[in-house]
Structure 1
Amino acid sequence: MTLRGSVLAGSLALLASTALSPAAFAKDISFIYCGDAINPVHKKAFDAWNSANADAKVAPELVGWEQCQDKATTLAAAGNPVALAYVGSRTLKQFARDELIVPIPMTDAEKASYQPHIIDTITFDGKQWGVPIAFSTKALFWNKDLFKQAGLDPEKPPTTWAEEIADAKAIKEKTGIAGYGLPAKTFDNTMHQFLHYVFTNNGQIEDASGKVVLDSPQNLAALTTIKDLVPYAEEGPTAYEQNEVRAIFLDGKLGMIENSTGAIKRLEGTKLHWGVANLPLGPDAKGPGTLLITDSLAVFKGSGVEPKAIEFAKFLTAPARQEEYELEGDDGLVPLRPSPTVDKFVADHPAWKPFLDGIKFGGPEPLFTDYKGFQNAMIDMVQAVVTVKATPADALKKTAADVEQYK
């Protein structure tokens, strides 16, 4: 079933309760803005745009994170789209295939302004389908006190998967505390955790031609490493997602976790002695790597203001404004573009360096038409290995065949 058909079948109640008034579509750029509050940087941008564009004002509607994308999807599938919405870039291929969004023309200079591989997260059939607005990567956080208690050098985090397993084992055996935090709940970051291992071993999910290449030696090594970490992880990893694992680390009850820049702010106010480093690398790695995840502004088809919506999306994410949004927030976002401002920020905040180091050899979150089907298949694969219901080789081979249907 297509996205349009599935949404219409299951979302009539949501549509009835959330449809925007017809007036919102007259000349305004109706904009579903995700979050609990409008960011001050964006508020200034809305005001500046509206002052200069009286005939095409932006009209943001604040929608909570849990309902945000569903609302935009429902309205578009019912033929009553908003002009613009904040979406996970992983959904862009699905939206494009169902002809719910329009491509975003980008010049070569615009594409080249971004960090490596960012444009890959929004590209399908040679076209760009969104304007990136948020970017995240991961790095390794370690508890220096637990390293010391386990007889490890507290200033020397693991740099390879083999060292990571050995350090996790030492912490578990010497202190009785789990050495590694492994998210394996039925949640998207279980798939993301696996993909971090894929992209720190020169692995791929799809090759340059779009062929699924999940069942590869590099990816088998990644899944096997996850299996090898289970004995030294928190008890019952399938009960924990990434933020729950982070909470255990913040409580001093984990030796290592892989997390985003959001962990930095939370750790700075604690008594923990911690460090942050590049993700450990697999045997086939070419250099520091990570999974690259973006969110984007998507312009929906049929609003009647598509060109102005594209213009506004680029206005909102213009380099100087985007940097301010990224670097001044409570959690902070990994900068989408390199610049002298970013270089200075990283020099002043060295804990951020690993989050940029992994970009060059990182890989984009794969674009599948049915991204939820793909995601669920990947989660099932990890959980089967974590719970010893399947060997890594068998689980990988089965999942490689299963995900073909979600292309």
Structure 2
Amino acid sequence: MKVKKALVFAILMAVMAVAVVGAQTVTITYWQYFYESKVKLMDELIKMFEQQNPGIKVEQVTFPYESYNQKVAASIPAGEGPDVINLFYGWLPMYVKAGYLQELPPNEFNKAFFEKNYYNFVAESVEFNGKYYSAPTAVRTLALIWNKKLFKEAGLDPEKPPKTLDELAAYARKLSKYDGQGNLVQAGLAMQPTGQGHNWIREILFRQFVNTPYSKDYRKVTYADDKGIAAFRWYTDLIVKDKVGYPNFATDDVTAFRSGKAAMNIDGSFRIATLNAIKDLEWGAAELPSHNGIKSNYASYWTHAIVAGVSGKKLEASVKFLKFITSPEVQELWLQKVGELPANPSLAVKYKDNPVYAPFFNGLAYAHASQFVDEAGQRTILVDAVDKVWLKKVDPAIALREAAAAEQKLIDEFWKK
């Protein structure tokens, strides 16, 4: 009898212990869009975090990129969203004005913190109306990538990519191939405004032609002056006059380069892991070509934020998770597994001699990250301007002025709300 009582007592104590542990466990949800290497790494990171924080569980939920913002808009206002969310930095103003995000705890994430741990362009673009709303793990920038085999076939030194825009245009013409009817069969330079082309125009070419695309507060569009038009015309001339490439050639710029149908491309550091995995692809990366001694680059990033309404133990757990996934250790893992660059500039030193990583890291030193009020809308306006030139034969000056007017209207409407 005593044995039975002891057994029952032991069972009751075990059940109570489990109940207490369960009551003490906090579960938070993390959302990001589906990108295989990021999702796999995040699964690994969550296991590491949970081991270090036994009272916290993290559930990762992913959605297709195409429907991500729609899911956010439908879920967060209804109280069915995540606790921690991953978003493109260019969406931050839209997310804040929509009430999706809360300010990060100022005692943990403030101006001094960002200036110490991040590149300047990050510190500037995670702030909105004097408050900080997000922190990234990694950043991306652009470089010129080239196919060394196609360089050899064209009689070019495979170890010497073009260093200036004039050289780039000359190389592109030499590397382009056509069939008997004059149709392009090998692009000397991929021209994909829906890829990184729109960023190349906005953040690099405009600035290299001595134009500043926006006012300091990003509320005025200023790229449609004579210098901006000259930059835009240089870009579109490669398509309509030199015919070294055109939008959607061989499906898109990434597909064309991967399949050996494009000799050069402007692409991001996030492409490193993909290109390294392609058998027999001999490729190189170099800093973007300069123009009249002017260098420029575009930096972007996906960043992590805490959703509005998260409080109490969930908020504490979310802050811990956010600090973990933005730590220097995780930033190093992100570079190795995803190919995106550490957001902390102090980590760049060890890669200064790496032939693949170094050009991307070097570009961060002079990169820009414009603030958007509607990144998708502003991107579409510039892409449409290119389409007007090459599909509808509109003069580049007219197309760019129309784009500037359309974008100005979009920006004005955002700030009137």
**AA in 1 matched with 2:269:** T
Asked if the contact 2:30/2:83 (under 8 Å) is kept, the reply is yes
Match of 2:330 in 1: 321
Question: In structure 2, what is the equivalent of residue 180 of structure 1?
Answer: 189
% identical equivalent positions: 24
Q: Could you say which residue in structure 2 is the equivalent of 1:371?
A: 375
Match of 1:73 in 2: 73
Paired amino acid for 1:356:
F
Counterparts of 2:288 and 2:273, CA distance in 1: 19
Secondary structure at the aligned position of 1:292 is classed as: strand
Task: State the one-letter code of the partner of 2:356.
Answer: A
Q: Which amino acid aligns with 1:29?
A: I
Query: Which residue in 2 is equivalent to 1:17?
Result: none
SS of 2:299 mapped into structure 1: strand
CA 1:46–1:275 in structure 2 vs 1: closer, same or farther (change >3 Å)? closer
* Alpha-carbon shift at residue 204 of structure 1 (Å): 3.4
TM-score of the aligned structures, taking structure 1 as reference length? 0.80
Within 5 Å, which residues of 2 pair with 1:38-187? 39=39, 42-51=42-51, 53=53, 56-104=56-104, 105=106, 106-107=109-110, 108-172=112-176, 177-184=186-193, 187=194
The separation in 2 between residues aligned to 1:322 and 1:139, in whole angstroms, is 20
Change beyond 3 A, Cα 1:298–1:159: same
What's the CA shift for 1:91? Answer: 0.8
Residues 204 and 180 of structure 1, relative CA distance in 2, 3 Å threshold: same
Instruction: Indicate yes or no: 2:298 matched with 1:291.
Output: yes
**Which of these two proteins has the greater Rg computed from alpha carbons?**
2
1:89, 1:122 within 8 Å by CA — same for their partners in 2? yes
Cα deviation, residue 393, structure 1: 1.5
Query: Which residue does the alignment assign to 1:254?
Result: 262
Q: Cα deviations across residues 70-109 of structure 1 (Å, max 9, x unaligned)?
A: 3233211334332111111111100111222112232313
Q: CA deviation at 1:133?
A: 2.8
Q: Kindly indicate whether the alpha-carbon contact (under 8 Å) linking 1:30 and 1:84 is maintained by their aligned counterparts in 2.
A: yes
Count, aligned residues: 372
CA contact (8 A) 2:162 2:289 kept: yes
Change (3 A) 1:51 1:303: same
Deviations 1:318-358 (A, max 9, x none): 112222222x21x411221123x5432443x3211111111
Instruction: Give per-residue Cα distances to partners, 1:299-332, cap 9 Å, x unaligned.
Output: 1112334454234212221112222222x21x41
Question: 1:213 maps to which residue?
Answer: 222
TM-score, normalisation: structure 2 = 0.78
- For 1:323-338, what aligned pairs fall within 5 Å after superposition? 323-326=332-335, 328-329=336-337, 331-338=338-345
Residue identity in the other structure for 1:222: A
1:273-292, CA deviations, whole angstroms, 9 ceiling, x for partnerless residues? 43321111233x633x2211
Code of the residue aligned with 2:123 in structure 1: it is I
